[in-house]
Structure 1
């Protein structure tokens, strides 16, 4: 057997045993096992700061997506302006690039709305 495959099989077996132990153990035994391993669950999502972190990640991804859309618009605009000499294929590529950049803006805005909807579960 391949060494990488053996390592992967070992990890899968360990993960399955770990997951199965939580199914077989009662919640009190599982909590005791977590505490014994040094993991202390908060039990309160409002005080865990996870929503603040997720909000920052959404803002970061939205910002990067915004810069990417601006770059796509610039590239498509250059392609369209270069096609004024009568190249219909480059002209079509420019229009499609602008359309796809607009679609990208729409997806970014809707993804932010969906992420805000999910974040509303914790409040």
Structure 2
């Protein structure tokens, strides 16, 4: 197996932090104003281009696939937790962490609609 070190993971962590910072700091209106100031303008008629319908369909697909994935993760974590009744504390912890991560996945799936709306605000 490949060993992971902080040196190998650091670029990923930095890019993730920058991406999260941009989500927190900039609103869609500020980003659109910055784009216009830089000379970037939307081309064509976005209202009638059906791009919003396509984005909505993608969000629905991600929600459906993510929902099935969360159900499978909950089943797997429940099986792990159920099998740990014999006194294996590591397997018990893995089961609880699996259930917690499935809950986090549900939260992200629910927030996908908000994130997609944030991106759709750029073209308005």
Please, what TM-score do these two structures have when normalized by structure 2? 0.61
Give SS of 1:46's match. Answer: helix
Give SS of 2:46's match. Answer: coil
Q: Which has the larger radius of gyration?
A: 1
Structure-2 residue corresponding to 1:31? none
Residue by residue over 1:7-45, the C-alpha shift from the partner in whole angstroms, topping out at 9 and shown as x without a partner, is xxxxxxxxxxxxxxxxxxxxxxxxxxxxxxxxxxx7111
* CA apart distance, 1:88: 0.8
Q: How many pairs were matched up?
A: 82
Tell me: higher relative CO, structure 1 or 2? Use CA pairs within 8 A at least 6 residues apart: 2
Q: Supply the RMSD in Å over aligned alpha carbons.
A: 1.6
Please, what TM-score do these two structures have when normalized by structure 1? 0.61
Structure-2 residue corresponding to 1:90? 91
Give SS of 2:78's match. Answer: helix
Structure-2 residue corresponding to 1:59? 60
Q: Which runs of 5+ in 1 are unaligned?
A: 1-41
